[in-house]
Amino acid sequence: MSELFDAVDALLASRAVLPPPTERKRLRAAHGLTIDEVATALKVRRATVSGWEAGKTEPRPPERDAYARLLDGLAKLYPAPAGTAAPVPDAPAPATFTAAPAPAEARTLSTGQAAEAVPMTEPENPQKHTQHSAPAPAPAAEAPAPPAPAAAVRPALAAKPAASSRRPGAKKAVPKKTTASAAAVDPRFENGPLAVIDADADGQVSAYCIGGLVLDVPAKTIPALVDWTLTEARLGQARLHRNGRDADPILVLTASALERFGLPVALSEEERHAGRIPAGHKVVKQIERAGLQMTQRGFGPWARLYRDPEGSRRRCVQLCVLPWHALDVREWGRKDDPELLLTMHPADLVQYLGLYAARVMTPRGSTATTGLELMTALRPPTRAEKNPATGEFERAYNEDALTRLYPVVPCEVPDEHPILKGQFARHHLRTPAEMLMEEPYDWCRPLTDEKCANPYLVVVDLNMSFAAAANGLAVGLNGPTHLENNPAFDPALPGSWLVDLSHVDLSRVRVNGRTVDGDRLPSPFTPTGERPTGPAWYATPTVAYAVELGFDVAPIEAYVRTQKGRYLDSWYKRLRDAYVDTMADMGVTTGLTESEFLEAMARRKETDPTMALLETAIKATAKGAIGKLRQRSRGQVPYYEPYPALERVNWRPDIRAAVLANQRVGLHRKLMKTAATADLYPVAIGTDAIVYPSPGPSPLDVLPHTPEGKPAPGTFRLGVSPGMVKHQGTQTVLWAEQQFEERGGVFNISNLIKTADPTAGEGE
């Protein structure tokens, strides 16, 4: 009998009572514990604990008992705030109702207004289909709400119901406002810009939309899914500019959805190399039989399916195939967790991508591709204009946009460009006099005995440096004009200038009345920081900076653009606002003191993991888009053969060069002012990360301040706005010397300090 009692006791222990997911997170945060600390103590993965707090999964014995013990102890230390209902332990859902899994936590949209849970009610006019929604728990900072009645378990956080489900007895969701004004919601796209398509074990397909909304999808094939999206789903995003076009709806397909629709969960080696499934695949044949069309890329990780337009209305749907690595983990996820996006619950994933769409735009592929598309969306090349003679609307070009392809300039294009065919040997290394080499800094100098007196190396990193460099920059909008016979330099003309700057001597330059030792700074005219040795091609910002420093310049020839404009301003502002809003959601705001800013930055990723992903994606969007302006062939075609990127009107290497030149000289300008103010000189620079010797491990120990304690004017300033700096990392000088010794010489240590432990090397 005792054996039976022991078995019964084991069953009771296996059902240890746990508080609801939001209470679990509140208790952990109240004690200052990180997810990693809890995971280590319980000997489980970080993602496992995150899933418990999100309500996606539940712990099993023996971890469940230990987790319950931890939460019980924390609950005694940190009871629920007065005036709130006590949290109700998790219990099985009523037999008559099955609750959908909840997203990790409720988020705020771009307006900063939190969505609220609204009970579901019976529809006044039942439709052929209805919709349901995933529950959204209360924000972590608040105590969990008391349990709702069964009819209210599935709140709707999105707009009015529009699409449908064939599920009997389904209930209609009450409309819920998720933006600053309900009137701002375009009724055509009231369910958001995109949806994550998932299937359960019974084969029921669901579309997870923003705000917790979940739509039942009746489609059994990919063509039927596309038609459902075009006719019923009400997905998409309104144009960002009155002359632009609305964004096509995006469907993100999970592994279960691929299986449901007859697609492989993983591509073969041959398919990965081709970037698509073969034309003879059964799903491709279904698409053809249904009269749908695909782009020349075929059915790959980002597949675009469409029907002929109806008048001016596009009928196009883009599929983002998640298991085929459509979302590169280096841009959209975390490098240390390659499976993160694949294991993320659909409700969490759509919330993340929906926030990106709301703050940046609907994803169009990689972050770089999306960033480039954002330029066009904000500065459309054409508009409809009424012809007064005929009364008909005709296409007209916008003067502030890139509108057509123009001839290219040999010095501005990469080595494989067709225009260079026959000009150079196949592996000829072009010189600065043959090629425009405007790139970010990659510079390092030896640690002198003087600087070894400082025990630390502190790295500060410019926020969104490429985006900040694009702000206010005049770039060329038309084709090049060739100026020969020693033209006079005009800083107002964007373009490329062949000029000799080897005479510029920065060894004793005066800045703000003080002498600066320019030899201890990198040259502003080369990415390596070395002084030029002869004529070279430079973008306008670089030559203008030489003039600003007080030196004469005498161009030999130039390629300039006579039509110019601040084409990237609106692009910068969109990304700036997206970045600042996202950082604010993690507690990093513009009004913090420097000490508060450093503390907030250190804890931001633990504050909200989804916002941390969004921060990475926004930064990658800004950086990648600038690179796309001079996209290379990447082996798509043989050398000197045309490749698809060359057919884009925004394939403009001269604009990329101007942005990078502006970023580099802007950085050098701050280096000069910092040296003049505090006799402070860097030892390495990697793109936008600056390494300074420091008496202490914090940026506050090294960055110059006025006697009143404010940042010195014109120098590097800690803060969240683009162009300001954050703490990238800290190492010791002894650590750096050891690295030099092991690697046999001086190299750019900034690349290592970016990811190193700030205390590594101490005491060695």
Query: Is the domain of 305 the same as that of 427?
Result: no
Query: Is the domain of 358 the same as that of 249?
Result: yes
The reply to whether 490 falls in a domain is yes
pLDDT in tens, 488-501: 999 999 999 999 99
558 phi and psi, to 5 degrees?
A: -160, 155
Q: What per-residue confidence (pLDDT) applies to 137?
A: 37
Q: What per-residue confidence (pLDDT) applies to 635?
A: 82
Q: What is the CA angle 698-618-621, rounded to 5? A: 120
Compute the average pLDDT of residues 582-598.
94
Query: Is the domain of 361 the same as that of 416?
Result: no
Out of 565, 582, 617, a domain closes at 565
Compute the average pLDDT of residues 403-414.
96
Q: What per-residue confidence (pLDDT) applies to 386?
A: 86
Contact, 342 vs 251, CB < 8 A?
no
pLDDT tier at 124 (50, 70, 90 boundaries)?
Answer: very low
Q: Write the CATH number for 41.
A: 1.10.260
pLDDT in tens, 166-178: 333 332 333 333 3
The reply to whether 26 falls in a domain is yes
Q: What per-residue confidence (pLDDT) applies to 690?
A: 97
User: Residue 385: exposed, middle, or buried by beta-carbon count in 10 A (0-12, 13-18, 19+)?
Assistant: middle
The Cα–Cα gap between 159 and 284 comes to: 34
pLDDT tier at 117 (50, 70, 90 boundaries)?
Answer: very low
The reply to whether 56 falls in a domain is yes
**What is the average pLDDT score of the chain?**
84
Q: Quote the tokens at residue 28.
A: 């952990």
pLDDT in tens, 302-352: 999 999 988 878 999 999 999 999 999 999 999 889 999 999 999 999 999
Instruction: Specify the amino acid at residue 152.
Output: A
Query: Is the domain of 211 the same as that of 358?
Result: yes
Q: What per-residue confidence (pLDDT) applies to 86?
A: 53
Q: What per-residue confidence (pLDDT) applies to 133?
A: 42
Query: Is the domain of 213 the same as that of 328?
Result: yes
Of residues 159, 146, 167, the one with CA closest to residue 97: 167
Q: What per-residue confidence (pLDDT) applies to 373?
A: 97
The Cα–Cα gap between 571 and 546 comes to: 28
Query: Is the domain of 292 the same as that of 428?
Result: no
Measure the CA dihedral 42/44/50/56, to 10°: -110
597-611: b (≥16 Cβ within 10 Å) or e: bbebbeebbebbbbb
Q: What per-residue confidence (pLDDT) applies to 447?
A: 83
Range list of H helices, 114-268: 222-228, 255-260
Compute the average pLDDT of residues 282-303.
95
pLDDT tier at 694 (50, 70, 90 boundaries)?
Answer: very high
Query: Is the domain of 265 the same as that of 318?
Result: yes
Contact, 413 vs 656, CB < 8 A?
no
pLDDT in tens, 377-389: 999 999 988 888 8
The reply to whether 610 falls in a domain is no
pLDDT in tens, 544-585: 999 999 999 999 999 999 999 999 999 999 999 999 999 999
Query: Is the domain of 198 the same as that of 341?
Result: yes
Count of C-beta atoms within a 10 Å radius of residue 197:
28
Query: Is the domain of 212 the same as that of 286?
Result: yes
pLDDT in tens, 415-454: 999 999 988 877 789 999 999 999 999 999 988 765 558 9
Query: Is the domain of 416 the same as that of 305?
Result: no
Question: Which residues, other chains included, contact 506 with Cβ-Cβ below 8 Å and sequence gap of 6+?
Answer: 516, 518, 519, 521, 523, 524, 549
pLDDT in tens, 649-676: 999 999 999 999 999 999 999 999 999 9
Q: Which range, of 31-35, 114-118, 221-225, 308-312, averages the lowest pLDDT?
A: 114-118
Q: What per-residue confidence (pLDDT) applies to 53?
A: 86
Instruction: Specify the amino acid at residue 402.
Output: L
Q: What per-residue confidence (pLDDT) applies to 758?
A: 42
Comparing 249 with 453, which gets the higher pLDDT? Answer: 249
Query: Is the domain of 522 the same as that of 418?
Result: yes
The reply to whether 245 falls in a domain is yes
Query: Residue 106 pLDDT > 60, yes or no?
Result: no
pLDDT in tens, 153-167: 223 333 333 333 333
Count of the separate structural domains present in the chain: 3
Out of 365, 397, 431, a domain closes at 365
502 phi and psi, to 5 degrees?
A: -65, -20
pLDDT in tens, 43-97: 887 778 877 887 767 888 888 888 888 998 888 888 876 655 555 554 433 322 2
Out of 365, 398, 426, a domain closes at 365
Q: What per-residue confidence (pLDDT) applies to 40?
A: 83
Query: Is the domain of 202 the same as that of 350?
Result: yes
Compute the average pLDDT of residues 620-637.
94
The reply to whether 535 falls in a domain is yes
The reply to whether 36 falls in a domain is yes
The reply to whether 258 falls in a domain is yes
Q: What is the CA angle 24-29-32, rounded to 5? A: 135
Residue 30 structural domain: 2-77
Question: Which residues, other chains included, contact 735 with Cβ-Cβ below 8 Å and sequence gap of 6+?
Answer: 457, 756, 760, 761, 764
Q: What is the CA angle 175-179-180, rounded to 5? A: 120
Query: Residue 291 pLDDT > 70, yes or no?
Result: yes
Q: What per-residue confidence (pLDDT) applies to 391?
A: 84
Q: What per-residue confidence (pLDDT) applies to 399?
A: 92
Query: Residue 108 pLDDT > 90, yes or no?
Result: no
The Cα–Cα gap between 662 and 656 comes to: 10
Q: Quote the tokens at residue 387.
A: 């012809």
